[in-house]
Every structure is written in structure tokens, then in C-alpha cells.
Amino acid sequence: MKKLLVYLKDYKKESVLGPLFKLLEASFELIVPLVMAAIIDYGIAQANRGYIVKMCFLLLLLGVVGLVCSITAQYFAAKASVGFAKQLKHALFAHIQGLSFSEVDSIGTSTLITRMTSDMNQVQAGVNLTLRLLLRSPFVVFGAMIMAFTIDVQAALVFVVSIPLLSIVVAGVMVWCIPGYKRVQSHLDRVLAATRENLAGVRVIRAFCKEKEEMEEFERRNRMLTDIQKKVGHVSSLMNPLTYVIINLAIVALVWVGAIKVNAGLLTQGAVVALYNYMSQILVELIKLANLILNVTKSIACGNRIQSVLEVQSSMPVQGYGQDDAEPDEKADAVVFRSVCLTYRDGGDEALTNIDFQVKRGQTVGIIGGTGSGKSSLVQLIPRFYDTTKGEVLVDGVNVKQYSPKRLRQKVAIVLQKAVLFQGTIRENMRWGRRDASDEEIYRALDAAQAREIVEGKDGGLDFEIEQGGRNLSGGQRQRLTIARALVRKPEILILDDSASALDFATDAALRHAIRELGGQLTVFIVSQRASSIQYADQIIVLEDGAVAGIGTHSELLQSCEVYQEIYYSQFKKEERANG
């Protein structure tokens, strides 16, 4: 949590002025019991109405000045805490964006969402309360004790005994609650993970009639979260009763000692009232301090969880050259795999084993294989979503590890298996690839992706509003629009990772023909389950269990590769029946 305080550096002034004005407010508050004592001893006891009125005006003045100081302190504390949270959110989001797919997979999406929302809000609230109360409450507590000594030393000894007892109670609760609240947040992660899975897979759950089982699982996780919250709550709830008991016993002792002294003429009635007021101030401040500590313990637990994400180092650092130093060789092959192996984190066996091939500029490469053969894993190494375990991947003659991620991914456009569109207009989605793309360029990409009819059929054309996740479009429409978005970028390497699975054979064929017609030096990788989608590729890579089963053209593989023969002939028969 301490490391996060660096994000307060731009708000040093506010971080100083906020507590300072709170201390000024507390100073005026400590004067009030003395004024009350003076009113009782000199005003009421001597029936001096003028003195009473004058002291009442002084009390009013102290109240107004204290209110102004309090509002000012709140303003600076709020400005500092909100600014701190803003910078921390930016830093956390940027850090997450810099992590590889391996780290994101390992941490979990639901956990990252919790860190960015619930944990961040708790930390912001903790910073706000800390700036306002962390110095004020102890200042009032010890200030009240010191003021009590100025009134009567023997009576003030009650403060000396009660304050350490209260400190022990507060510290004990805090020590127990910090790890407790950390466990609460961990269980909250699990509840959010279950919720996210259920919402994302609601159709699957309904299709398999698993609603009851999922509800029971959610209730089980929620019950575990409730139990740990209750356990922590039971301990934290002891704070107020114990402090009330100690304070009230101290007040009884104070009144008893004060009454004896007043009866003996050693202490005035106003002094006893002042001592009582100081003890009441301590009670109020300790209740505030108790609530502050409970909130701060939550904030510390949440801050440590955020810090744990920030401490996760990307497994894909930029090595060798910097962004401006990695000079691609224009004469080199577009993509080269040299003895590439890939093992996912905690994945056990290798997903890819000894992959070797070269792809020249402008070639179209088909990648085919059974489910789980490593097709997607292979193409995701090109834009460096994952790093190779062994071997190397070269793009334009340069190891992908020597490019900056930004420069490498400017060369590559990839359309993943799951078509993802963002809330906004079609034009805004198309410009994700290139912000300055004109409408003419967008329509040219839409034509190639066989998506122009989609746009022309919508009200507003390019200004048609796409809902979150593209839920107001069909699966085939989403796929074609994501392909168009990739083409708008005008990449050097285009990767279609099974991105035409929702398209019919005719549209798929038209799409492949249009991409070939783009010409130039565009290198295309097509990952597909359909042999018909890749049979006209310049080079076909057949994968089986993460290893290359064959490389060649369609006709060559039909002669030499049993895996390709099995895939092609099984699908060819199905296609004939479908066409017949």
C-alpha cells in the first residue's frame, strides 16, 4: 500500500492543507470547554449576564470559524483523494494493458475488474478519511488530555489511564481486521467470477437446464462470503461497545474525583464540566477514529491487492532494440518460425512443438488441424500475444521480441475467433484500426469483407449505433465487420483466426477472393476448420497435437499428408451432400 502513495505526489499541497485545516478546526474545538467553564464560574455563578452574552458570541464565532475550516479541509481532502484515485486508475489500466495474455489469463478477468472498481473506490474513500481524520482524532484525544492537566492534575490522571486502554482496544481490532478484510475481498472475487461466468454463458446454462445447479453454486460462494464478512464484522463491531464502556467508566471516575474536589473547594463546578466535556470529546473522536480504522483497514487490504497487480511483471519485456532501432529487412521473409515451442503458464505439456516454416511477402497461408491442435496458439505468437518457450519468431527478419509491442502490432492485424465490437457507431468501430480513415476507405474495406450490405441495410449507415458487444447484430455480421475493421488498418500481415466460421460457403469464398484481389505485399494467414477455406492458399500448414503434420500446397498435401487427407475428404463429402 505504501508504494501507491507515490500517486499523491501531484497533490502535496492538498495533502498538507487538508489535515492542517482539520487541526485548526480541532484547536478551536478544544477551546470550547474552557469557554463553557468560564461561563459557569464567572457568568452564571456571579449572575453576570453581559459576560454570558459575550462568551456566547465567542462560542458562535468559534463554531463559524471551525465550520469554515472543516469545509476547506473537506475540499482539499476530496481533491487529493479523487486525484490520487484518477492517477492510480490510469496507472493500473496502463499496466494491465501492458501485460501479456499469460498474465491476464493467470490473474483472471473478474479479479482485474474488482481491482479497478470496488478496490479502487475503497482506497479512494480511505485516502479521503485519512487526510481528514487521521491527524485530527489523535490530536483531539491527546489535546484534551493536555488541557485536562491544565485544569487539574489529579483528575487528569483518569485520562492517562483510559487513553492507553482505548488505544489497545483499537489496535487489537485493527490488527485482526486487516487480514480479515483481505479474505473478504478474495471471496468477493470468487462471487464475481461466478456471476461473470453465469452472465456470459447464460445461453449454455439454459440449454443444458443447469439453472438450479448454478444458483446453488452461487449461493454456496455467496454464503462463504457472508460467513467471512460476519466473522470480521463480529470483531469489528466490538470497537464501539468496548470504547463506550471504557469512556463511561472514565467519566464515572472523573465525576467522582471532581465531586470530591468541588466539595472540598479545590475545584470549581465549571472545571468539572470542562473535564467532562473533554472526556466527551475523546469519546466522539475515538468513535470517529474507530470507524476510520475500520475503513482504513479495508483500504489497506484493497490497496495491497491493487499493488499486487502492479507488481506483476510482464513476461514479454522488450529486448534488444528500442522502438526506433528495430530496422526490418525489406528483402527478408514476412514471417519465419524457427524451432518454436510454446508452453502456457501452468499448462503442463507443450501447446506447440518444434514449429519451422517461412512465409514470403504477399503469400496466403492456410492453417488447419483438429480441435486443440494449436492453430490459434501459432498465429498469436506473430503479434506477440504470447512469447515462445523455445525458438524464435521473426517478422521482416527481426525477432518479435526486439520490436516494441506498438510497432509490431502496427504491422499486424488480427481477427480473433470471438468477434468483438464496441459500443458506438459503425464508423467509430471501423476507425479503431486507423483513426484518420476516410469513409471511402471504410467502404472499400467493407466491400472486401462482404459487409457493405450490412451498413447499407441499417438506419444511418456508418452512423448506425452498435450496442455493447454488438448484441444488436448477428454472429455473421459481427465477423464481417471485425474483418473490415482489420482491413481499414492496411496491415502488412493479416491474420484471420477462424473468423469466418459464422459465414456461409458462398460469402466465405467471396471474402477470400476479395482479400486476394487486394494485392500488394499483404501476407495473409487463414486459420480455419474448413478445408475449402484454405485449399487455394500458397502454403498450407497442417497441425496435429501442436506439431507440424505437413506443409505444402493443397495438391501436395492430398498426396503426402494423411491428417490433411482425413480432414479434406470428410468435409468434401459433407459439402457435396449440402450442395446436392
335/329 Cα distance (integer angstroms): 11
The domain 8-310: what is its CATH number? 1.20.1560.10
Is 550 in contact with 355 (CB distance < 8 Å)?
no
Q: What is the pLDDT, as a whole number, of residue 302?
A: 85
CA separation (Å) from 567 to 395, 529, 570?
30, 9, 6
- Stretch 309-337: mean pLDDT, rounded? 72
Full-prediction pTM beyond 0.75?
no
CA separation (Å) from 303 to 82, 174, 288, 293?
15, 16, 22, 14
Tell me the pLDDT band of 325, cut-offs 50, 70 and 90. low
- Stretch 512-539: mean pLDDT, rounded? 85
Is 403 in contact with 328 (CB distance < 8 Å)?
no
What residue ranges of the chain are covered by domains with CATH 1.20.1560.10? 8-310
Spatial strand order in the sheet of 364-369: 412-415, 493-497, 523-527, 364-369, 539-544, 547-552
Summarised one tens digit per residue, pLDDT across range 202-238 is 888 888 888 888 899 899 999 999 998 888 888 878 8
Strand bridging mode 493-497 / 364-369: unpaired
Give me the residue label for grid cell 466535556.
Answer: 277
- Stretch 519-527: mean pLDDT, rounded? 85
337 has a pLDDT exceeding 90: yes
Q: Which grid coordinates belong to 524?
A: 495473409
What residue ranges of the chain are covered by domains with CATH 3.40.50.300? 335-579
Q: Which residues of 67-82 are buried (b: 16+ CB within 10 A; e: fewer)?
A: eebbebbbebbbbbbe
Query: Which of the four CATH numbers 3.90.1150.10, 3.40.50.920, 3.10.129.10, 3.40.50.300 does domain 335-579 have?
Result: 3.40.50.300
Tell me the pLDDT band of 320, cut-offs 50, 70 and 90. very low
390 has a pLDDT exceeding 70: yes
Give me the residue label for grid cell 496502463.
Answer: 94
Tell me the average pLDDT of the chain: 85
129 has a pLDDT exceeding 80: yes
271/47 Cα distance (integer angstroms): 18
- Stretch 292-316: mean pLDDT, rounded? 82
Summarised one tens digit per residue, pLDDT across range 85-95 is 999 999 999 88
494 has a pLDDT exceeding 70: yes
DSSP structure class, residue 42 = I
CB-CB neighbours of 381 under 10 Å: 21
Q: What is the pLDDT, as a whole number, of residue 574?
A: 47
Q: Long-range contacts of range 561-570, CB-CB < 8 Å, 24 or more positions apart?
A: 563/369, 563/370, 564/368, 564/531, 564/540, 567/368, 567/369, 567/370, 567/531, 567/542, 568/531, 568/535
Q: What is the pLDDT, as a whole number, of residue 171?
A: 77
